[in-house]
C-alpha cells in the first residue's frame, strides 16, 4: 500500500473525514501511517474552509489498535524513541487543532487508539466496541498523552484503576464515567456521527474555535488568568460577520447562514 493510502482524507461541506486505512492491521499506527496523518493534519489546521474534523478507522473491527507492535519488534531502540516522539506528536497535533474534532470509534480503541480518541474533543463509540489504555499489560505505559488526558476526563483515581489494571471498558461504562459522549446502537454508527456533525455545523464555526480555545487554554490557569483568556477569545469573534448574521437571523426568526468569517 502506498503511504498516501494509509490515511484517507475526504472533505465535503466544511467537514474533513480522516480514515486510518489499515483494516487488515486493525488500523494500527505504523511509522509511515503516523507521518501521513501528521502531514494531513498540518494542512487541515490551516484550512479555513474546514469547520469540523472527524477521525475514524476503516472497516468495522477497530477504530485504532494503537502502535503497530509487529513493526515495533523490528525497530532498534533509537527507532522506538523516534516513533514514540512522533506518536506523541500526532496526539498533540490532534489536540491542538483549532477546529472541533470527533473521534468516531467504529470499533475497538486500545492503547494509542484510546490516546488518539482522548486527544479529540468529542468521542462516539459503537456499542459493540471496547476502549482502554492497556499498555501496562505489555510492560509499558501510555506514552502519547494518556496518563495526562485520561485523569483530566475521569479523575486521577479512576484513571489509575483503568491504567494500572489495563482495563477494557465496554461502551456503557465508558459513557457512565465520562470517557465518551455518545454510544452508537448497532448498525446506526454513521447516522450517530452525522447527527453530531450536523449539530456542530448549526453553530458559528469561529465561535466553536473560540470556545474550544477558551476551554483548552484556560484549563490550567488560575481563575483570574483563565477569565482574561476567555475574554480574549470572546474578543476574537466580536467583529465577525457570522455574529451579525446570527443576530439578524434571530430577529428575523430564521436559521443563520454562517460563512466562517
Catalytic residue set:
67, 112, 115, 135
Around Cβ 30, how many Cβ atoms within 10 Å?
18
Among 56, 55, 57, 53, which residue's Cα sits nearest to residue 16? 53
Distances (CA, A) of 124 to 77, 80, 190: 35, 30, 10
Per the CB < 8 A criterion, the answer to whether 260 and 242 are in contact is yes
Dist. CA 172–CA 177, nearest whole Å: 9
Per the CB < 8 A criterion, the answer to whether 97 and 53 are in contact is yes
Q: In sequence order, which residues have a C-beta less than 8 Å from that of residue 113 and are 6 or more positions away? A: 27, 29, 57, 62, 63, 64, 65, 66, 105, 131
Give the containing element (helix H, strand E) for 153.
helix 146-154
Amino acid at each position: 500500500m502506498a503511504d498516501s493510502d494509509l490515511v484517507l482524507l475526504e472533505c465535503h461541506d466544511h467537514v474533513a473525514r480522516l480514515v486510518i486505512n489499515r483494516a487488515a492491521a486493525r488500523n494500527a499506527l505504523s511509522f509511515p501511517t503516523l507521518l501521513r496523518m501528521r502531514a494531513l493534519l498540518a494542512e487541515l489546521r490551516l484550512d479555513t474552509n474546514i469547520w469540523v474534523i472527524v477521525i475514524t478507522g476503516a472497516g468495522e473491527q477497530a477504530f485504532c489498535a494503537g502502535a503497530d507492535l509487529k513493526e515495533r519488534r523490528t525497530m532498534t531502540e533509537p527507532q522506538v524513541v523516534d516513533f514514540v516522539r512522533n506518536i506523541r506528536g500526532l496526539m498533540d497535533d490532534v489536540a491542538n487543532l483549532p477546529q472541533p474534532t470527533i473521534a468516531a470509534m467504529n470499533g475497538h480503541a486500545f492503547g494509542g487508539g484510546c490516546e488518539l480518541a482522548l486527544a479529540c474533543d468529542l468521542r462516539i463509540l459503537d456499542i459493540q466496541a471496547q476502549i482502554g489504555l492497556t499498555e501496562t499489560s505489555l510492560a509499558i505505559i501510555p506514552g502519547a498523552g494518556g496518563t495526562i488526558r485520561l485523569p483530566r476526563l475521569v479523575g486521577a483515581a479512576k484513571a489509575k484503576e483503568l491504567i494500572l489494571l489495563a482495563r477494557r471498558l465496554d461502551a456503557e461504562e465508558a459513557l457512565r464515567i465520562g470517557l465518551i459522549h455518545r454510544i452508537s446502537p448497532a448498525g446506526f454508527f454513521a447516522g450517530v456521527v452525522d447527527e453530531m456533525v450536523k449539530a456542530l455545523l448549526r453553530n458559528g464555526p469561529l465561535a466553536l474555535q473560540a470556545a474550544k480555545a477558551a476551554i483548552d487554554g484556560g484549563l490550567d490557569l488560575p481563575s483570574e488568568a483563565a477569565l482574561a483568556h476567555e475574554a480574549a477569545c470572546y474578543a476574537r469573534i466580536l467583529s465577525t460577520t457570522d455574529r451579525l448574521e446570527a443576530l439578524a437571523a434571530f430577529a428575523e426568526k430564521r436559521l443563520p447562514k454562517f460563512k466562517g468569517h
